[in-house]
Amino acid sequence: MNGKWTALSGAVFAAVLAAAPIAAHAEDWKPQRPIEIIAPAGPGGGWDLLSRTMQKALTEEKLVDRPIIVTNKPGGGGATGWNYLKGKEGQGEFLAATSPLLVQNNVLGKSDLTYKDFTPLAALMAEWEVVAVRADAPWKDGKAFFEALKKDPSSMHIGVGPALGNDDHIQFLTLAKAYGADPKSVKFVVYPATAAEQIPALLGGHIQAITISLGETLEQVKAGKLRLLGISSPERTAELPNVPTWKEQGVDFIFPHWRGVIAAPGLTPAQRKFWDDTIAKMVKSPTWKKALDNLGWESFYQNADEHTAFLAKQQVEMATTLKEVGLVK
Amino acid sequence: MESILHNLGLGFEVALQPINIMWIVIGGLLGTIIGMLPGLGPATGVAVLIPLTYGMNPATALITMAAVYYGAMFGGSRASIMINTPGDASAIVSCFDGYPMAKSGRAGSALATSAIASFIGGIVGMAFLVFFTAPVADLALKFGPAEKFSLMLFALTATITLSEGSVLKGFIAMAFGFMLATIGIDGQSGAIRFTMGIESLQDGIDFLVIMIGFYAIAEVFKNLSSLDVRYDVDSKSIGRVWMSGEDFKRSLMPMLRGGPLGFFVGVLPGAGGTIATFLSYAIEKSVSKRPKEFGKGAIEGLAGPESANNACSCGALVPLLTLGIPGSGTSAVMLGALMMLGVRPGPVLFEMHPEIAWGVIASMLAGNIILLFINLPLAVPLVQLLKTPQRIMLPLIVGMAYMGTYFLNYSSFDFVLVSISALAGYMLSKLEIPIPPLVLALILGGMTEQSFRNALTIANGSPAIFVTQPISLGFLVLAAISLVYALKRHRKLMQMI
């Protein structure tokens, strides 16, 4: 028994020695400890669902051989969770969910964090933005609606949530401007509980329209309670082929509300490559595709290089847009 | 009517499958344990247990999650009664009379009352859910910002009338609560208010942190003076976990009143268990023949709110089942889990998947009965806790309170907040400033402010909207009545002195 153990541990020792030089080689980094995916918000929201979907796909497709945990760190419009990630410099086992808020909060001056404080890994999915009115409302398309808004802004109240300055808000301001209405004259009603308050408020006739992502309205549209005036996708969606894009309606506006994943700052090229390859495999896996289908999300994959360039572009564009619509002075 | 009964039958067929009953028991038990730990409420409980549901069919998954939700509601009030530490906001009110009851040797009776009242509230809520879902959902749509503002104003003034002694001190407490509620980033303007440059305050103050400080730790301070005193209670009498006939007679009406109240408040998005429990307490106190006993262990003050709380969780399912909109944090989590399983709750859920919608409703009825049987025997070992010497119990409570605080936001800054609020809570009780109006104003402050501003935006700046909308006007009148009532009672008190 004893001899066997010695022999075994000797063999393990030799294997470790042999493996050591390879492990140091750039190609071969692998997570050494349990992986932590940070959802910088409470359970139930978009970041939380994305983190848990990643956890599920990576585990079930056996793409990583360490356990994955998802931790919720809500606060500061994502800042609490992201700051925690920022403190894990060089540790490849820490990831976090992101969205355009990472860029917007910085441009709006709410946060010092930018994408440069992290290692961007990928954009994963997008939801398209829509403007919804009640099914019995008089406006049939974007033009009719924004004409009415232009004529009498005080009769049109637009629901937005959870706070001003997000993608939903920016979509509406951009559209108002494109249709020739004064973005500053729009009366926004802010609902901190988002769709949970916005949809009853719209159905109850307290407000005239909401600006929101497609998924939140899908079931209400199918049930014939809401009408969508337009969608920010490049082409009509398969699920709702009757809803015209903004582009068809003459407004050059394609606007994905994307979500993605970032890693801790200061990752080595090997660590970054590991995740770049792993995520590329993940987005092609059946588990991932089925999960996106179930959640009604569109795939919006960018690899690490593409996504980093995309973030740099967004940072510039967002500053311009927010200035044009008067949110940034 | 007949079709409802037919559907309910279908639901029971699903709910009473052995596998689903097993998950109701497991989910209910886990939920009860989670709910007992301070800081871990129903939403966290459901979120933690989501991985359990991955392999399940959607009906079983939702049934399990609903059982966890219920279990946590039952469990939350255990901690309120035994150690004055509410597990979440809707269990605050259970501290008011539940904890004094436990201290005076009636822990068993308090635990039994809370379990039975929860059960009755759950049954009343269920009955409303089965028969009134459609009309109530329509009524809830009429609640715009003006109506919500007036409802919250009523809840706040009603709480002032609860305050012992001076009405003025009640107002002072409420003002403090509102002030604390304004700290943080304002969603409408994006302005950062009163954070004094501390980044951790940008999201505002989590009321659960303040609550743990005010109730659990401040209570430990108060008990320090009696460190060596054991509760002079006969272990036989505390061990008896049942309600006496007299107790039951006194609790019955409060339970039956709390049920419908809780259900209606639960239907309104965002209002939830806090308003329901506080309002139920206010109502019970004002209709009681013995208002003086409230706060000192009046069984009515425990039974009404406990019933309202459970009925409220049934009400919160109305928007989820009819509109596909989560009415509370917990139902938001359930919605997310259902979507991951490929079911999208929405207006057509009842037609597309009747077995899920009705299965859940039937399982809640079964779950309420099962939880009653889990909770009554569980109370027996719990009450033995009271025999623990204070020298051991008090440090344990402090440890658990700090642990619970950290679990809320994983923020070490909250340790500072909980310590400050513990000291403040102790001072307030020495000054006889009532804490409930402060806590309620802190919880509702943000919502009240946003509803006020939204109402004014919709009315293009005219405050007339609050009195021209009939529902809003109704609540304002009720608020005025409760204020006059409080002032009158106060004058009477002064004359007596």
Which CATH number covers residue A137? 3.40.190.10
What is the per-residue pLDDT for B162? 67
A25 within some domain: no
Q: Are residues A263 and A307 in the same domain?
A: yes
CA-CA-CA-CA torsion for B393, B395, B397, B401, nearest 10 degrees? -170
Average predicted confidence (pLDDT) for chain A? 87
The Cα of B326 is separated from the nearest Cα of chain A by a number of Å equal to 6
- Picking from A215, A231, A247, the residue at the C-terminal end of a domain is A231
CA separation, residue B149 to residues B157, B209, B349, B467, B473 (Å) = 12, 25, 31, 12, 11
| B-chain residues near A189 (CB < 8 A) | 145, 454, 457-458
Element (DSSP H or E) covering residue B339: helix B329-340
- Asked if A79's CB is within 8 angstroms of B202's CB, the reply is yes
A85 touches chain B (CB under 8 A): no
A240 within some domain: no
Taking chain B, what is the end-to-end CA distance rounded to the nearest angstrom?
A: 58
Tokens at B49, concatenated: 């247990």
Domain total in chain B: 1
Instruction: Say yes or no to pLDDT of B236 above 60.
Output: no
A77 within some domain: yes
Contact B428, B436 (CB under 8 A): no
Q: How confident is the model at residue A96 (pLDDT cuts 50, 70, 90)?
A: very high
Q: Are residues A77 and A100 in the same domain?
A: yes
A6 within some domain: no
What's A42's domain CATH number?
3.40.190.150
Instruction: Say yes or no to pLDDT of A204 above 70.
Output: yes
- CA dist B199 and A76 (Å) reads 8
The Cα of A271 is separated from the nearest Cα of chain B by a number of Å equal to 27
Q: Are residues A205 and A160 in the same domain?
A: yes
Q: Are residues A133 and A105 in the same domain?
A: no
Question: Which domain covers residue A186, as residue numbers?
Answer: 127-231
| A-chain residues near B142 (CB < 8 A) | 204
Which of A157, A165, A201 is the closest to B190 by Cβ? A165
Domain total in chain A: 2
Q: Are residues A160 and A188 in the same domain?
A: yes
A247 within some domain: no
What is the per-residue pLDDT for A21? 44
The Cα of B323 is separated from the nearest Cα of chain A by a number of Å equal to 7
- Picking from A231, A248, A275, the residue at the C-terminal end of a domain is A231
| B-chain residues near A225 (CB < 8 A) | 347
Q: Is it true that the peptide bond before B326 is cis, omega within 30 degrees of 0?
A: no
Q: Tell me which chain B residue has its CA closest to the CA of residue A191.
A: B450
A249 within some domain: no
Taking chain A, what is the end-to-end CA distance rounded to the nearest angstrom?
A: 77
- CA dist B411 and B407 (Å) reads 8
| B-chain residues near A44 (CB < 8 A) | 43, 47, 326, 329, 332-333, 335-336
For A54-85, how does the pLDDT look when each residue is reduced to its tens digit (9 = 90+)? 999 999 999 999 999 888 887 777 888 899 89
CA separation, residue B24 to residues B68, B116, B275, B319 (Å) = 8, 18, 28, 23
What per-residue string of b and e applies to B162-194 under the rule 16 or more CB within 10 Å gives b? bbeeebebbebbbebbbebbebbbbbbeeebee
For A30-56, how does the pLDDT look when each residue is reduced to its tens digit (9 = 90+)? 999 999 999 988 776 789 889 999 999
Q: Are residues A220 and A151 in the same domain?
A: yes
**Three-state secondary structure string covering chain A:** CHHHHHHHHHHHHHHHHHHHHHHHCHHHCCCCCCEEEEECCCCCCHHHHHHHHHHHHHHHCCCCCCCEEEEECCCHHHHHHHHHHHCCCCCCCEEEEECCHHHHHHHCCCCCCCHHHCEEEEEEEEEEEEEEEECCCCCCCHHHHHHHHHHCHHHCEEEECCCCCCHHHHHHHHHHHHCCCCHHHCEEEECCCCHHHHHHHHHCCCCCEEEEEHHHHHHHHHCCCEEEEEECCCCCCCCCCCCCECCCCCCCCCCEEEEEEEECCCCCHHHHHHHHHHHHHHHHCHHHHHHHHHHCCEEEEECHHHHHHHHHHHHHHHHHHHHHCCCCC
Q: Tell me which chain B residue has its CA closest to the CA of residue A224.
A: B347
- Picking from A231, A248, A283, the residue at the C-terminal end of a domain is A231
- CA dist B29 and B27 (Å) reads 5
Q: Are residues A122 and A144 in the same domain?
A: no
Question: Which domain covers residue B60, as residue numbers?
Answer: 2-496
B298 vs B338, higher pLDDT = B298
Tokens at A116, concatenated: 């440069």
Which of A44, A108, A199 is the closest to B323 by Cβ? A199
A276 within some domain: yes
Mean pLDDT is highest, among B100-104, B159-163, B421-425, for B421-425
A residues 156-195 lying closer than 8 A (beta carbon) to B: 157, 162-165, 187-193, 195
- The ipTM (two decimal places) reads 0.80
The Cα of A1 is separated from the nearest Cα of chain B by a number of Å equal to 41
Interface test with A, best of B44, B141, B143, B208 (most A CBs within 10 A): B141
A243 within some domain: no
